Structure 1
Amino acid sequence: MENNTTAPFTSYQKFVILILAVTQFTVILDFMVMSPLGDMLMKSLNLKPSAFGFAVSAYAFSAGISGLITAGFADKFDRKKLLLFFYVGFIAGTFFCGLAHSYYVLLAARIITGLFGGVIGSISLAIITDLFSLQQRGRVMGFIQMGFGASQVLGIPIGLYIANAWGWEAPFLMVASLACIVAIVISLKLKPIIQHLALQHNESVFMHLKQTVIKPDYRVGFLATAFLSIGGFMMMPFGSAFAINNLHVTTSQLPVLFMISGISSLIIMPLVGRLSDKTDKFKIFAAATVWLMIICLLYTNLSVTPLWLVIVFNILMMMGILSRMIPSSALTSAVPDMQDRGAFMSINSSLQQIAGGIAAAIAGAIVVQPTKFSPLIHYNWVGYVVVGVCALSIWLIYRVNRIVKRKTAMVAAAKNEPALNTEGI
């Protein structure tokens, strides 16, 4: 049998990768732009760190609730139609954010955006799992996650320039306008994705959700995702406020910082994706996690720091984050069976969002800023919590890795052929 590790993508597969990457770009940018706008929002709306942390959490919690509601019927519809439905809702919510002029209106807009936007990632993962083999998914995840880097290279710097010129509402209107174009392309060019419908049983939505949740292997994947999200989200909401008020990065330097970090991620992600298809995904994840723990401890204890050194730390941190994200996503995508993928990805996305919301809320409760312009206090405590959570995530992804290798061996045995490239899983 041909090893799919080196199999080239078809032209249609390349289109799917591109359109999902751009879709992820808009969704990630909508969420991530809240962090660099954090200092501006706290000053403009006179918010305390706890209030801003709750605004970030509102998106995450609503996204998590939406994912749980969606999970039961996620495998009962054409995945293209589901993607379009939730993406249109996301666009509407993002426009609403751009029209908000008070804290409570912004809070309501973030909830609406989360209800729709939080499900898009899980639908995209289900599409990837349906259309690409496990041995291709490291490369696919690497390209899809480039939306994360592109949001920093292009979206966040441009968004910050626009916000400095026209106010913090303007970046949300920019994202919504771009997303309208993407929705049209999806509607016209993406083919229906319905192979999973042939495997569905006539069970109720609630029973499908229940059957997905009670499977022990799935629960391990859910738990791993939750702790990965806590570790990944906790430092993010106050990243720009820490850089400006503690490290003395200026507001004009902030776009440069995000742009350089984003360029580094665009370089790193495809490399990590290819490497994770050729070698053991868990080993990459574990090494990257240890790396991230060290950088996190050093960074959160910095005081006034030259811009070049702040940039170096952000690049090193990005290397650790992305080298964890890509192999762990590829491994987790291999846990569910085809007939459960939509439900699994929806629940997984829900837990990811809820855990991220909890992380942002905890960070908001830990971090203190006595005045609008004073340094953040206790941000290093957030770093210590992140290190502990990262250590636990290594053990959880190790268990996911064992589940995936067992499933791969069982499939190979059923076909009376040797397991394919299990060391590279």
Structure 2
Amino acid sequence: MNHKVYILAIASFVVGTVELILGGILDLIASSFQVSIAKAGYLISIFSLVYAISAPVLLNITAKFERKKVYLWALFIFLLSNIVALASTGYSMLMVSRILAAMSGSFIIVLSTTMASRLVKPEYQGRALGIVFMGISASLVLGIPIGIFIGNAFGWREVFILIALLTAIIMVIVAISMERLEPAPVVPIKQQLNALRNTKMLSIHIATFFVLAGHLTLYAYFTPFLQETFGLSSGMVTLVYGIFGLAAVAGGGFGGVLSDKLGAPTAVIGIIGAFFLSMVALPFAVKLPFILFLIVMTVWSALSWAVSPAQNNLIIQSAKDNPDVLISTNVAISHLGIAAGSYVGGIIINGHSSLFNGWVGSILVLLGLLATVIAVTRPSISTNSIQSK
């Protein structure tokens, strides 16, 4: 495995941390700028919205430029966003910093995945993607705890100082150790749109949407689910989330390895199928002893993060001419799925038991599995096939 893949994984970890870290320091930010918690929460919402739409646009604008240079510029903007955040004198300035962080962050994630796949031999592409997604999922474990610890011990601005320092170190490492990587041949926008209309790619994107929506229907409300079913204290809930996060990190690597060993189509079908079964099992597992429930939850968590590397590998193998835009679109679709799942889950939990979140989420994941079956049974696409449409 090319060691440079691990550099990309570390960069992805730092970016993923910025996306999640505000969840632990919202109260400190609200107090600092004398706004409500809800208004402080808009800083998270705007990040997700900008994150969803930025990468495809930026990929198209920079399509002709050498990838290492583009990556360094994206890291520089990300560094700048954190400097703006720590220097913010008002809520609006902090909002601007979040927009800059989302734009550059989403671009860095997509570049990390596409560059990782090009740095290794084809038989190791899934593993390389899995390592990058381990970096992203590791931020799930550490992002909020880091924010809470540093924010409460030193202040919320120090959180962004740490991230800025880490970003600067990554920039130096990338500049010294990463070789030049020429861009893939540019595919015109019209052909890119035709690719998005291709049945195989459309099915992959639909699968991404429903799998993420199904997952977030329950995961976004997992705290009330745990409190309702087991009556857990806040300390125990934190412990459960820690176990979930560790399983997610392992799942990211597992998905990549499985994709290499079984092939992306078989791996994606198997992972999403098992993920569906784990979601169906969760509401029933609350009747089991707590330790057995944790085992079911651990499987669910690992599979939830095993999907992405296998699915991105499927995109790369299915559209070898220029997968960058299709991966960036898939990232955008995933954030729309997260938003939709959170919304649906909120409607359910307002009128019913949180157990229904698991069952409704399972139905959405099943739709994602059906879309995946359609995707893997369709032929791969190429520039020639796109042009003919």
> Alpha carbons of 1:88 and 1:256: their partners in 2 closer, same or farther (altered >3 Å)?
farther
The one of 377, 381, 385 equivalent to 1:402 is: 377
The one of 257, 267, 271 equivalent to 1:281 is: 267
Separation (CA, whole Å) in 1 of partners of 2:206 and 2:93: 33
- Say whether residues 1:292 and 2:284 are aligned partners: no
> Alpha carbons of 1:109 and 1:291: their partners in 2 closer, same or farther (altered >3 Å)?
farther
Q: Deviations over 1:294-313 (max 9, x none)?
A: 255358x89xx98x788656
Partner of 1:332: helix, strand, or coil? helix
**Cα contact 2:209–2:368 (8 A) shared by 1:** no
> Alpha carbons of 1:228 and 1:36: their partners in 2 closer, same or farther (altered >3 Å)?
farther
Q: Deviations over 1:304-351 (max 9, x none)?
A: x98x7886565233123133333223223322232x222222222222
> Alpha carbons of 1:285 and 1:86: their partners in 2 closer, same or farther (altered >3 Å)?
same
Matched with 2:362 is 387
**Cα contact 1:84–1:187 (8 A) shared by 2:** yes
Matched with 2:196 is 213
Matched with 2:385 is none
Matched with 2:308 is 325
Separation (CA, whole Å) in 1 of partners of 2:353 and 2:65: 47
Matched with 1:47 is 37
When structure 1 is superposed on structure 2, of 60-69 and 160-169 the one drifting more is 160-169
Separation (CA, whole Å) in 2 of partners of 1:315 and 1:173: 33
Separation (CA, whole Å) in 2 of partners of 1:348 and 1:39: 33
- Say whether residues 1:334 and 2:317 are aligned partners: yes
Structure 1, unaligned runs of 5 or more: 1-8, 369-375, 411-425
User: What is the percentage of aligned positions where both structures have the same residue?
Assistant: 19
Q: Deviations over 1:248-292 (max 9, x none)?
A: 433x66664444433334444434433332233134223322233
Q: CA shift at 1:218, angstroms? A: 2.8
Separation (CA, whole Å) in 2 of partners of 1:212 and 1:18: 31
Q: Deviations over 1:83-128 (max 9, x none)?
A: 2222222233344445568766554433332122112222222213
> Alpha carbons of 1:141 and 1:286: their partners in 2 closer, same or farther (altered >3 Å)?
same
Structure 2, unaligned runs of 5 or more: 383-389
Matched with 1:264 is 247
- Say whether residues 1:124 and 2:112 are aligned partners: yes
Partner of 2:139: helix, strand, or coil? helix
Matched with 2:9 is 21
**Cα contact 1:331–1:400 (8 A) shared by 2:** no
Separation (CA, whole Å) in 2 of partners of 1:161 and 1:106: 20
> Alpha carbons of 1:261 and 1:358: their partners in 2 closer, same or farther (altered >3 Å)?
closer
**Cα contact 1:162–1:171 (8 A) shared by 2:** yes
The one of 334, 352, 355 equivalent to 1:352 is: 334
What TM-score do you get using the length of structure 1 for normalisation? 0.73
> Alpha carbons of 1:269 and 1:282: their partners in 2 closer, same or farther (altered >3 Å)?
closer
What TM-score do you get using the length of structure 2 for normalisation? 0.78
Amino acid at match of 2:132: I
Separation (CA, whole Å) in 2 of partners of 1:351 and 1:128: 21
> Alpha carbons of 1:345 and 1:265: their partners in 2 closer, same or farther (altered >3 Å)?
closer
Matched with 1:413 is none
**Cα contact 1:24–1:121 (8 A) shared by 2:** yes
The one of 153, 164, 167 equivalent to 1:176 is: 164
Separation (CA, whole Å) in 2 of partners of 1:94 and 1:274: 34
Separation (CA, whole Å) in 1 of partners of 2:240 and 2:346: 23
RMSD: 3.9
- Say whether residues 1:225 and 2:208 are aligned partners: yes
> Alpha carbons of 1:43 and 1:228: their partners in 2 closer, same or farther (altered >3 Å)?
farther
**Cα contact 1:284–1:324 (8 A) shared by 2:** no
